[in-house]
Amino acid sequence: MTDPGEPRLLSAADVRRLAAELDLRPTKQRGQNFVIDPNTVRRIVRESGVGADDVVVEVGPGLGSLTLALLGVVRRVVAVELDPLLAGRLPATVAEHAPAQADTLEVVLADAMRVAEIPGPPPTALVANLPYNVSVPVLLHLMALLPSLERGLVMVQSEVADRLAAGPGSRTYGVPSVKAAWYADVRRAGAIGRNVFWPAPNVDSGLVAWTRREPPAAVATREDVFRVVDAAFAQRRKTLRAALRPMTAASGDGAAERLEAAFAQAGLAATVRGEQLEVEQFAALTDALVATGALAPAGAAGPTRGSRA
C-alpha cells in the first residue's frame, strides 16, 4: 500500500495530460524530452545516493517527473527551469502530487548556463535530466559555481556520458573529460532506453555519476589551465608542442625556447599529445608555462580552432 505522504509519481498518461493542458509542444531547441516512466526516475534517485539531509539542484525539471521522485527522498529541491510555462506549472503539479512536500520545492526561472546563485541553503547534490544540447556547459558551470556540491548524477546523451567519464588514452577522452576531472571523480552509472521518454529522442542516453574532489594543486588559475586544455584538443593529431605554439607565440621573442623549457620543467616530452595527459599533468604544464613566461595572457593569441567545453 502506498504511503499517503509519499509523492505520487507521474505516469505516461499524466505527462501527456499536463502537456495537453499547457498546449506544450516539446522543442529540440531546448532539448525537451520528458521522462514518462516512474521506475526510471526512481532509479535515477537511487543511483544518485541522495538522502534526507540533501539539498538538491535539479536543472530542467520540465513537467516534474524527476522532481516528484526527489521530493520524496531529500530535504529540499531547487529546480532551475528556463521555460516560463513549465516553471509556472511545476508548483501546482507538486501541490497535486506531493502536497506533503510542496513547501520543500523552490523553482528558479533562469538559464542554468547563466544562473549566478542558488537561493537558500548551500546545495549538496546535483541530480538532473540535463537538456542534451547544453549538458556539458551546464554541468561545468554548476560545478564551478557551487563548490558545496558533494556529488551528482545526471542523464545525458550516451556519447556525452562516455566523454565525461573517459580517461587518458581513450578515443573519447577530450575537453569535457579533463574539465570535469578538475572538479570530480566521474564514472558511467548505466544506460537509459529511448522508450522512457516523450517524445522519444533519436539518441541513446546514459547516466553519469560524480563525486567532488579537490582540484589539482596549481599556481596557475583554473581559467589558464582550461585554456591550455582547449588548445591541446583543438587539433587532436598534433603534438602538444605544436598545439600550444599559437597560444604561446604572443609571449614574444624566445617563445619557442620558453615553451621547450616549460615541457622540461613539467617533466613532459614535447611530442606528447593532449589525449595522453591527466588533469594533474595539464595543471603542472600550465604552471610551468606561467613560470617560464611562455603562456601569453588571455586574449593575446589568436583563437584556437575546434575548442569546446
What is the predicted pLDDT for the residue at 31? 56
Q: What is the CATH number of domain 12-212?
A: 3.40.50.150
Element (H, E) at 155: strand 151-157
Note the Cα 235 to chain centre separation in Å.
23
User: Does 58 belong to an annotated binding site?
Assistant: no
**pTM attached to this predicted model:** 0.91
Which CA distances in Å does 216 have to 63, 90, 237, 283?
39, 39, 26, 7
What are the beta bridge partners of residue 35? 197
What is the predicted pLDDT for the residue at 253? 80
User: Does 219 belong to an annotated binding site?
Assistant: no
Q: Where in the chain is the domain with CATH 3.40.50.150?
A: 12-212
Residues 222-252 have pLDDT tens digits of 999 999 999 999 988 899 999 999 988 776 7
Angstrom distance (rounded) from CA 104 to CA 280: 39
CB 67 within 8 A of CB 96: no
Was domain 222-291 assigned CATH 2.60.120.260?
no
- Ranges in the chain, pLDDT < 70: 1-4, 26-31, 251, 299-309
User: Does 33 belong to an annotated binding site?
Assistant: yes
What is the predicted pLDDT for the residue at 302? 44
User: Does 202 belong to an annotated binding site?
Assistant: no
User: Does 74 belong to an annotated binding site?
Assistant: no
Q: Please state at what angle helix 135-145 crosses helix 158-165, rounded to 10 degrees.
A: 40
User: Does 60 belong to an annotated binding site?
Assistant: yes
Residues 46-77 have pLDDT tens digits of 999 999 999 999 999 999 999 999 999 999 99
Q: Where in the chain is the domain with CATH 1.10.8.100?
A: 222-291
What is the predicted pLDDT for the residue at 188? 97
